[in-house]
């Protein structure tokens, strides 16, 4: 911390190179071999052009026997282009680039080849967050980096593909460029995966994977007599040894329409389901039968416009007759048929001793 005796001197020093010189000299005199975490946050200005910006980090990275594991860089002002040599560390575990920091590559962005070099240049990387910004009307071609993640060291992976225009135009571009999604990570423990569905998946060498959070979205290209694009069968098979699974409303719908055969989740102990869609619940009986050792089932559920159809009644009988830890059931029904629907539901047996009645809303 630097303390100035008065406001005038503080403004004078901060508007000159004095503070940069002081900071550079101080850090260069430090024992960089002992630095384990380096964080830098600034507004831009002369920082972005100062040789010290790279010098501080490089001096810590190039130390023989150095301990540098984390780098966090943030710039709220001018854009800062980082040299790729900063990303060839043999010790770096976590890297965060925020706001105006970006990689300096030959093309205008991080293409797939440079993305692969980046991952390979961090052999002990344990956490990776990959986000592809969606296409727009002027540039409809889909992202690339989230289509393939291969790393022997990553333990926590978050993949998010934002495609705000999920219509036919983007689907055709997506289908031509990225037919398959690949995740190969033998050390991976946690996966958070959000994307429109691919036609094929290769989720392999995931022996350490324990928890998965899925948000799989269907493409909005509904046409009569046209099959729905996508197949998540191999994805489901690739994660079948996990112990905890979280499914979003879109994922439940994707499993219903795009999963040709449901694998047995023999190790699954915890299943979390959320749904606000009219379609998708049809897959629930098959999904539950595929989880023979399930201990905990968590529903974020509000049943609205219950119509009393054969399929709806069958699902309610399954919920009430199988869930021994069920506590509360709330069902919204049509006022015109309320007496008939209430009578049908109230005749169903409830196996849970904690659930004494059904609440109608």
pLDDT at 210 over 80: yes
pLDDT at 128 over 50: yes
User: How many angstroms separate the CA atoms of 2 and 65, rounded?
Assistant: 31
Residue 309's Cβ-count burial label (10 Å; 0-12, 13-18, 19+) is exposed
Q: Tens digit of pLDDT for each residue in 278-295?
A: 667 788 889 999 999 998
Q: Taking the domains of the chain in order of start, what are their residue ranges?
A: 14-125, 127-301, 302-361
pLDDT at 20 over 80: no
Given CA atoms 86, 87, 89, 92 in this order, what sign does their dihedral have?
positive
Q: Tens digit of pLDDT for each residue in 31-66?
A: 666 778 877 776 665 555 556 666 766 766 666 556
320 versus 277: the higher-pLDDT residue is 320
pLDDT at 104 over 70: no
pLDDT at 12 over 60: no
pLDDT at 109 over 70: no
User: How many angstroms separate the CA atoms of 335 and 361, rounded?
Assistant: 10
Q: How confident is the model at residue 171 (pLDDT cuts 50, 70, 90)?
A: low
Q: Which residue matches tokens 């629930």?
A: 284
């Amino acid at each position: 911390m630097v303390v100035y005796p008065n406001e005038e001197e503080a403004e004078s020093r901060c508007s000159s190179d004095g503070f940069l010189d002081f900071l550079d000299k101080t850090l260069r005199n430090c024992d960089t071999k002992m630095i384990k975490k380096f964080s830098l946050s600034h507004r831009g200005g002369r920082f972005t052009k100062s040789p010290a910006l790279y010098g501080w980090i490089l001096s810590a990275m190039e130390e023989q026997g150095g301990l540098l594991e984390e780098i966090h860089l943030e710039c709220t002002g001018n854009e800062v282009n980082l040299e790729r040599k900063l990303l060839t560390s043999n010790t770096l575990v976590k890297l965060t680039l925020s706001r105006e920091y970006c990689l300096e590559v030959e093309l205008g962005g991080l293409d797939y080849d440079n993305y692969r070099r980046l991952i390979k240049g961090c052999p002990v990387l344990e956490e990776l967050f990959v986000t592809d910004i969606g296409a727009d009307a002027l540039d409809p071609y889909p992202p690339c980096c989230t289509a393939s993640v291969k790393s022997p060291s990553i333990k926590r992976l978050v993949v998010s593909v934002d495609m705000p225009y999920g219509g036919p135009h983007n689907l055709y571009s997506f289908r031509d460029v990225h037919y398959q999604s690949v995740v190969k990570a033998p050390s991976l423990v946690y996966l958070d995966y959000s994307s429109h569905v691919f036609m094929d998946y290769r989720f392999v060498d995931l022996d350490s994977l324990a928890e998965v959070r899925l948000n799989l979205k269907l493409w909005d290209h509904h046409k009569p007599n046209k099959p729905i694009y996508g197949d998540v069968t191999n994805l489901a098979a690739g994660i079948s040894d996990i112990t905890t699974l979280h499914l979003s409303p879109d994922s439940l719908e994707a499993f219903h329409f795009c999963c040709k055969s449901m694998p047995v989740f023999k190790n699954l102990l915890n299943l979390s389901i959320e749904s606000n869609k009219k379609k998708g619940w049809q897959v629930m009986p098959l999904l539950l039968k595929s989880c023979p050792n399930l201990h905990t089932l968590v529903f974020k559920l509000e049943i609205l416009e219950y119509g009393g159809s054969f399929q709806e009644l069958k699902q309610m009988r399954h919920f009430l007759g199988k869930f021994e830890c069920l506590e509360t059931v709330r069902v919204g029904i049509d006022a015109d048929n309320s007496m008939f629907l209430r009578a049908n539901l109230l005749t169903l047996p409830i196996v849970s001793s904690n659930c004494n009645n059904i609440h109608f809303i």
